[in-house]
Amino acid sequence: MQNLNFIINSPLEQFEVTSLIGLNAPIFGYLNTSLTNLGLYSLLLLFLVVGLHFMGNNETKIIPNKWSISLESSFASLSSMVREQIGVTNEIFLPFIYSLFFFVLIGNLISNVPYSFAITSSAIVCLGLSVTIFIGVTLLALSIHKIKFFSFFIPSGTPLALVPLLVLIELVSYGARAGSLGIRLFANIVAGHTLLKILSTFLYKLFSGNLVVAVLTLIPFGIFIGLVGLELAVSFIQSFVLTLLVCSYLRDAIKLH
């Protein structure tokens, strides 16, 4: 009865941030610094994104190769997104949007490799990102429109009696952007990865049973493969949605309504 020895770990264990290498030293008022799996995979992400663009660079040759075609077409689609959403005169935001998209996309894709760590599944990364963007966008709007920025909270044509109530509602909905942007990303990634972990635990149990059950398990395994494909699609969709929303927040900040 070896099955009794089997322990099902929490499916949320994969999201735990653990220290890989740590340094505790009684200097500088008890220094504690450590490289966590989150830090390691962030460094890996940086290396992969920079490496992709370094290796995919066509070196000013006329005929592109397959790598530079894919990079150029993703640049073209992000560029057209920025021009459509924020406006042709505001292409200065393209580098920001481009790097944001590749950060989230490659981070999501790395997390789909078995045994790897999903950095976009940690609330601190996603919320840190979205709150930083929110503060930046608000500062941008304040610096462009000065005091007129606050007219953003009063929809045009509001009766004066309703203004206090509407300002409150608009203020809450504006502030909710800071959270919703990050929560949307990390909730999607956490949900997908947890589902895959739970299902793969079941499949492992079924496959390690007797032969007939193992052969029959190929049917749910097919569905599981489909779900992995869905998770890959989520990786792309979520990074696209995040950049699209950042674009629309920037447009709101620049154009007010």
Task: State which residue, 68 or 243, has the beta carbon closest to other proteins.
Answer: 68
What is the nearest approach in angstroms of other proteins to the Cβ of residue 119? 12
Least separation, in Å, of the C-beta of 108 and other proteins? 13
Residue 68 Cβ vs other proteins, minimum distance, rounded to whole Å? 8
Closer residue to other proteins in complex, CB, 51/128: 51
Interface residues toward other proteins, by CB under 8 A: 2, 5-7, 18, 20, 37, 44, 48, 55-56, 59, 61, 63, 65-67, 110, 113-117
Complex with other proteins: residue 20 or 169, whichever CB lies closer: 20
| Surface-to-core class of residue 82, CB atoms within 10 Å of its CB (0-12 exposed, 13-18 middle, 19+ buried) | buried
Q: How far is the CB of 4 from other proteins (least distance, A)?
A: 9
Nearer to other proteins, 30 or 54 (CB): 54
Q: Give backbone dihedrals phi and psi of 209, rounded to 5 degrees, phi first.
A: -85, -150
Smaller CB distance to other proteins: residue 56 or 87?
56
Minimum gap (Å) between residue 7 Cβ and other proteins = 5
